[in-house]
Homo-oligomer: A and B are copies of this chain.
């Protein structure tokens, strides 16, 4: 467990954007980690490469990791089960370094600029849809401990992590969330998390400083269907109830595809997993 605490600390540092660079691969880091459980060297060893620039790592054999990640973000690379094995280092350094934060910042800056152009009716019917995992809360503490997406998804260990309720907030999204609340746009959480995870999800969101949302929509037991079908169906219900979805932000294309998408959609980076 001290290892988990240290990872959490490191991820918190990464999310605060305070990490500097040391040229050592994540794999080497994990080996050193296994050998030495002492605090200081572990944190040092896990410090990321300079922002995961990709070029350095891309040519080590296998796919070009930066081009692959771009393909994921532009929705060219679809339906993948795991991150290519040779890209664990690239994705790890990207996520823990400043690159992920920088890329997220550009997305949220666009969302904020868009929000400022909105002519709001102010009738309490204008909502903004937020996904949760890798959009509002970060599961980086989990993925940093599980190969950054290179290993097949393990529902048991992932759900155990979710039930800890300890996922940190994504600072950029929190900035957007606060701004929308302040201008009278109501946040709606729409997540693939299941109804039985409601209490822990609410507790985690509150602990991370989120409050004032209009509703938290979780997947109901027995729902069979794609993420796009589920999420667009829920958005349709919102619309049918008279709400206007002025914006929609997620880390998966399945968060933002499928009518009604919302008046404007935003795709946050996520090179760790794909939900179709």
Which residues of A come within 8 Å of B, CB atoms?
50-51, 53-55, 58, 63-64, 66-68, 70-71, 73-78, 99, 102-103, 105-107, 110, 265-267, 269
Contact = CB atoms under 8 A, between A and B. Distances in A.
7 contacts: A58-B102, A66-B99, A71-B103, A73-B74, A75-B265, A76-B107, A76-B267
Contact of A50 (B55, B77, B265): B55
Contacts of A73: 70, 73-74
Nearest to A56: B53
Assembly of this chain: how many copies?
2
Given A50-B55, A67-B105, A77-B106, 11 more contacts: A64-B102, A67-B102, A67-B103, A68-B106, A71-B107, A73-B73, A74-B75, A74-B107, A76-B266, A77-B110, A78-B110
Nearest to A64: B102
Nearest to A97: B55
A106 B267 contact: no
A63 to B, nearest CB: 7
Nearest to A101: B67
A73 B67 CA distance: 12
Contact of A55 (B53, B58, B70, B266): B53
Contacts of A77: 106, 110
Contacts of A50: 55
Given A53-B55, A55-B99, A70 B110 contact: no
Contacts of A70: 70, 73, 103, 106, 269
Contact of A106 (B71, B102, B266): B71
Contacts of A71: 103, 106-107, 110
A97 to B, nearest CB: 10
